[in-house]
Structure 1
Amino acid sequence: MTELEKCMAGEDYNCHDQIFLDFKGRARKLLQEYNTLAYEQKEEKEEILKELFGEIGTKVSVASPFICDYGRNIFMGNNVSVNMNCTFVDCNKIIIGDNVLIASNVQLYTAAHPVELAERYVQDAETGQLVRHTYALPIKIGNGCWLGGGAIVLPGVTIGGGSVIGAGSVVTKDIPENSLVVGNPCRVIRKINGENM
């Protein structure tokens, strides 16, 4: 199994493998160009996003500055708005549905490391060098969601369609459809869009 296959399967992988360095280099080059373009240069920006992302729908707006790791693992539906200063750590897939609003300073993290120090850094038997353990899990955001400013979504989370994530919330687990959630860690406050708890 290649390091890329391990990564996409959610298994421990070497994030310093050359393929990931190549992905990052490509993304950094495209982002540098993207983030220096003027707001009015919409066609040029759209072309860069088409090259950067794995898939992009119609009527997508991504404000500058925008940061991502690889870009290739970001899949956006139609009518998506991403405001300024957002960070998408897309070591695994980030799938965003249609009609989604993502406010300023939102952070989506697919990558993580073991909590225990002894598991985070392990000596490689062949080289004797310390190897940092990393794993990545996909994030899915359903149709019609709104993520408030400064919200943080952690690896492996699915946010059900129609849900609203309050500003500054930290999403550590899956959120059911049509839920209003707030807090750190966030919790469901009530159902919305005509649904009952």
Structure 2
Amino acid sequence: MREEEKIFAGILFNPGDPELKAIKLRSHKLSAAYSRTAEDETELRAEIIRQMVAEFGEGSFMQGPVFFHYGVHTRIGKRCFFNYNLTIQDDAQVMIGDDNNFGPNLTIVTPLHPMLPDERRLMLDGEGKPKRFCYAKPVRIGSNCWFGANVVVCPGVTIGDGSVIGAGSIVTRDVPPHTFAAGNPCHVIRALSEADSMRHKPAVLADNRVMEH
């Protein structure tokens, strides 16, 4: 089994494998190239994104700078907005739905390391050769979510459609759809409802109106 296949199988893999290192180097170079572009260099950015990630939906936008670890393990839906300093450490797959808004300094991580220092340093592979190992768990984010600034999403987490994640949250476990969650560790504070509508904030709404569905 190739090391990349081991990642997707959820078992230990060697991050120093030459094939994996080549994928990561390519992604790191593309991330750096994207981060050097200006937001109005739309054609250049589109070409870099095409090479960098597995899928990037129509109407999505990344302010930059960005950092993708593998890049090709990430799929991003339509009409998503990513503010400054996006980091996606996509050893395992990262799947993001449509119509999401992400504040500055979003970090999504998928890899995990052995807890014991000796095992972190070296373990033996199937042939008895000493190597460094880690493993990874995929992250899934639904559609129509809003994340505040400085959110960290940890390995294996699924965040449901329509959820709001408060600024500074460390998301270590799944978040149900249509809820407001925040904190470190992040926890559900309450379900979202009609009471959260801008209709109930007339001073902020001013002369604007909520669209009828």
Q: CA deviation at 1:120?
A: 2.0
- The yes-or-no answer on 1:162 pairing with 2:162 is yes
Contact 2:123 2:133 in 1 (8 A): no
- The yes-or-no answer on 1:177 pairing with 2:181 is no
- The yes-or-no answer on 1:140 pairing with 2:140 is yes
Q: CA deviation at 1:86?
A: 1.3
**Residues 44 and 193 of structure 1, relative CA distance in 2, 3 Å threshold:** farther
Kindly name which structure, 1 or 2, has the bigger radius of gyration based on alpha carbons. Answer: 2
Q: CA deviation at 1:101?
A: 0.8
In 2, Cα distance between equivalents of 1:157 and 1:97 = 14
**Residue 79 of structure 2: aligned partner:** 79
Aligned residues: 194
Deviations along 1:56-84, whole A, 9 cap, x unmatched? 11001011110110110110110000111
Deviations along 1:147-170, whole A, 9 cap, x unmatched? 111000000100000001100000
Contact 1:138 1:155 in 2 (8 A): yes
**Residue 115 of structure 1: aligned partner:** 115
- CA RMSD, Structure 1 to Structure 2 (Å): 1.6
TM-score normalised by structure 2 residue count: 0.86
Structure 2 stretches of 5 or more lacking a match?
196-213
In 1, Cα distance between equivalents of 2:48 and 2:60 = 12
- The yes-or-no answer on 1:21 pairing with 2:28 is no
Residue identity (%): 37
Structure 1 stretches of 5 or more lacking a match?
none
Q: CA deviation at 1:9?
A: 1.2
**Residue 35 of structure 1: aligned partner:** 35
Contact 1:34 1:48 in 2 (8 A): yes
In 1, Cα distance between equivalents of 2:18 and 2:190 = 46
- The yes-or-no answer on 1:58 pairing with 2:58 is yes
**Residue 152 of structure 2: aligned partner:** 152
User: For 1:19, what is the secondary structure of its paired residue?
Assistant: helix
In 2, Cα distance between equivalents of 1:193 and 1:147 = 18
In 2, Cα distance between equivalents of 1:192 and 1:65 = 32
**Residue 102 of structure 1: aligned partner:** 102
Contact 1:162 1:193 in 2 (8 A): no
Amino acid across the alignment from 1:156: G
User: For 2:72, what is the secondary structure of its paired residue?
Assistant: coil
